[in-house]
Structures are given as C-alpha cells and as structure tokens.
Structure 1
C-alpha cells in the first residue's frame, strides 16, 4: 500500500515548529500527505506550512496549542474539524540536564506532563479511530536515553523509557488491527533541544561530537522503520552502543554515563 493510502490523508505532528518535528513535516509532506502542525509558536508553524504547500502541493494546518494545558485535546480536535488523521507523530518533548534535586519540581512535573501525558492522550484518541479504520500509524519519539538510564538527565531518561515502552507495547496491540506503531530512539541530534536542555556539544570530545546526527537522517530512519520494526535506533554507532549495553552484564554502568553527561554540561 502506498504511504499516502496507508497513513493519509492527514498527519498530525506535535512539536512541529523546529528540529525533528519540522523535519517530520517536510518528509511526510514530500510523500503527499497533508500535515497538521502543532506547537505553541503559530508564526513558525504558518511559515513552515507555507513552505510545504509551495514545495509539495499539500495542504497544511497550523494549530497553536500548549500540550501541557488540561484541555489541549479539545483545542486540537476543534481546529481539525472533519480532517482525518492517519498518522500521529508524538514528537513534542522537553529535557533538562543537571542534578535532579537542583531543578525546580514544577519544571520536572511539566516535563512529565509534556513527554508522557500528552502523547498518551493523543495516542489513545487518534489510535481508536485508526483501529476502527484498520489502518494508520503512530510514531513515539523516545531516545537512547530511554534505553540506557542516564544520570544528569534522570527524569528525561525516565520519560523516554515510558515513551519507548508504550510504543513497543502498542506495536503488538494495534498491529493486529492494521495500525503500525514504532518507537524512534535517536541519540544526539542537531536541533534546538541542545539549548533548551542546557547542553553544550562543543564541550564534548571530537569522537563524541562526531556521533551527532542530523534531523533529516533521524526522521528518514523513523519513517523507514514504520510498519517494519517496533523500535528504531538511528545511526550505526548508536546501534552498536545499544547492542553492547545489552551484552554487558547489567548493562552500561550508570557511573560511566554520568561521566559522559558531565562533559556536555556548560562549564562554570
């Protein structure tokens, strides 16, 4: 079945104003699927929408919504109207590096709301319609930090483990009903996430900086794995790391990850 027939006529992408989310919009639009773009920054969404309409001839819809708001789903469904969502990309998320106890608790709780509550609600709402149609797809943006416990990134790591397990579980549940679900687990990816997470990649040794992937390559891997795999880890170096972590007794020791993460933190 052609991509647009399986996952069209509309895709809904959260966190679409920049980075991986914006790249998902570009690559999905290139396949002929209309895109509903969700983020807080309407101006960016409208600019991206105009770009996609001009370049690919698809229709777009900019939906300014705060996924931490209690009623965000009503905002999205009202804006969608009768548009039919065949592909959900649960991409929006936030992260913060540093000592867990040095962070404000409300900020950590907001991360939990954005990274876990919002994708759960969206997967439940749109997944039900996909199951009725016996077609569709859901992409859960997880992380290699959701595979290997990550000190100095502890709450983010835990939320991404949650995304990963939800996606892999739904891969089996909904696969019987013709709905494809994949957990996308990228490593370091060039995007605005570095700034928001208080990470400075220039502090990393050259071999580590070389592992930073482009959003284009991450998204390409995720779309390629949709309908074929339950989990996708983009990049050979990251796949090798994950394989070694499974072979090591008890996995990668957290103290090693702790030392690595401290390289990424801005120096005083």
Structure 2
C-alpha cells in the first residue's frame, strides 16, 4: 500500500486491492483516515459483497433509517439520480449526526459514473478549527451542539436528536476538528439563543467550506472513497451532471 497526500485534505492510495487487505493495511488505513480525512482508492473492480466485507473489517456497520437499502444488502444504501426529474439536493453535512453513536466512517463505491459532473466535495475540519479567530474559538470552547434529524423518516422509537461537542478531539490523530453538519440539523448550541445559534452555525459553515479548504473529487470507474466523519464534512455537487450517477454507500458505527 502506497499513498500520496493531497491538498487541502485527503490522500490517494495505490497498490491496494480491497479484497486482499491484511491487518497491517487496515491499521495504516485507519491512521491515514485520521490524518488525511479522506482516502481515494482507485481501480477497485470489487462487487458489493467484497465492498461490504472490507467495511466490516473496520467495525460494526450501521444504516440510516429512511434511506433506500440495496436489494440483498440491507447494510448498504443506494445513492442515485436515475429516474429523477430534478437533481438531488446536497449541502455540506456529516452523516447521521442526530444519533448518539454516529458513523466513524462512510464509504462510497462508484457503480455508474456520469459522463460529466457529479463530483463529491470534502471540507478540512481540522483546518477549519485551526483557522478560527481566537475570540470565536475561546467563546465556543466546551459548548455542545444539538443535532436533529432532517430529510428522512427514521420511524418509531428511533433517535431523532443527539448532542455532540462542537470541537471534537480525534482519538487517533490527537488533533481537534470543528464538528458540524448541515445548518438545518444544528438546532442549538449550549448557552446560545436560537438567533445566536443560527448566526454562529452559518458563520462556521461558511468558514469551513471556503474554496481553499475543500477537496473536489472527480469520480472514475472503479473508485472507492472512504472518509472519517470526525475530520471532514462532505456534499455531492449535482449541478451540471450528464448521465447516470449511482453510488453504493456503507457506514461504520
């Protein structure tokens, strides 16, 4: 396994086949994910069974209730523009933060890559924290954010909100990241009014997703992309997509 770190976040891994990873590869991938946030693993001619087996090496899988499961693989879900009359909408977010144990990792397997567009963007949340003005960092230190469900119906007796620190220390890298999700999901900041919360979250998202802090991944056939949800936010850019865009997604609790 070899890799090349890219700016402003991420790494491209080569000489690795997902159906042949060993314990040493897994340890290096977890460390790389903690440091680089996103790993792009190209040229993976694997099916869903091998993709799922690879993810299970990292830990217990989880599924976002209300999403579209993949037939025959209930731990995976389908992300697709096929048959839609209007493009999907996506804003920068972190997956399923409204539960007390959100996913550590998310991974996408490219099933159909469009002829044009359909990139996925990732923001560097380490850099977002590091570049906060001192007065804002001091004001937000120790505060918690209440994350709420939006966009899906999780069903009865499911978690619909959870509280997480706004500054999250990563247990492997030792670095601190600004832990956010989409503005609609960040319902409250401890010690702030609703008006103050909305203003602060809007500022933090704009600060995190400035152009020089975002990686834009252009998909190729055979790509598998995995990211650490404690390090990055992400969004799909559905503007200007030509052709079918189909991804299969898995998440590790």
Give the TM-score normalised by the residue count of structure 2: 0.25
Structure having the higher helix fraction is: 1
Larger relative contact order, structure 1 or 2 (CA cutoff 8 Å, min sep 6): 2
Structure having the higher strand fraction is: 2
